[in-house]
Amino acid sequence: MPEITLPASAEVIAAHDAALGAPPFAAEATDVRGWVAVNHFHNRSLWAQEDLARRTQAPDAEIVANKRAIDRHNQARNDAVERIDEFLLSALGLVDPATLTGALPRSTAPAGARLNSETAGSMLDRISILGLKIAAMREQTLRTDVDDAHRKACAQRLERLMQQRADLGRCYDELLADARAGRAYFKVYRQFKMYNDPRLNPALVAESQ
């Protein structure tokens, strides 16, 4: 198999961190790196909306708007994970192209390869979220309106979060290496978010009748 250029964890983490220094923008995607950026955008947007939704003095209408935005971004975030997995598996030659966009993409993994329960796309999604946690926790260590005990506790949490991201990045890199060598594979797992589908959510079905 020819050498395949796939995003390593270090590249993804650097892109995630660089994006945090700029205003969120709705990225467009034509390749796996584009979908990684789309996923990170929606995770950033989710983070902001989750904070706003927990306000206790905001009008109910604003909280409703936050909750609906959360649903939209969460759906788009999960859609991006599926696109990432499609691109990665296609590049690795581990999925039947004719079935790729269907409900049940057919794996073409070699006999004897182990199935990884978590997909590479879901790992990158978790790495994105860890990047947001790291940035937010780092801000807590720099606050001047809290005592040293607060900053110290947050510094310890920051260290642990950074270790978790590094560990997960290594696991992602190892999964891709094993998949390229025919030792492991993963699948495209459709999320089928029923609560966002007016045909499948019982409450929305009842409203339409």
Q: How confident is the model at residue 3 (pLDDT cuts 50, 70, 90)?
A: low
Cβ distance 192 to 78 under 8 Å?
no
**Cβ within 8 Å of residue 136, ≥6 positions away:** 47
Structure tokens at 193: 């978010």
Cα 97 from Cα 83, distance rounded (Å): 13
Question: pLDDT, tens digit, for every residue of 141-176?
Answer: 999 999 999 999 999 999 999 999 999 999 999 999
For residue 2, the model assigns a pLDDT of 42
The pLDDT of residue 4: 57
**Residue 193 DSSP one-character state:** -
pLDDT for res 28: 75
Instruction: Answer yes or no: are the C-beta atoms of 155 and 114 closer than 8 Å.
Output: no
Q: Mean of the per-residue pLDDT values for the chain?
A: 93
pLDDT at 1: 38
Over residues 98-120, the pLDDT tens digits come to: 999 999 999 999 999 999 999 99
Task: Judge contact between 185 and 116, C-beta under 8 A.
Answer: yes
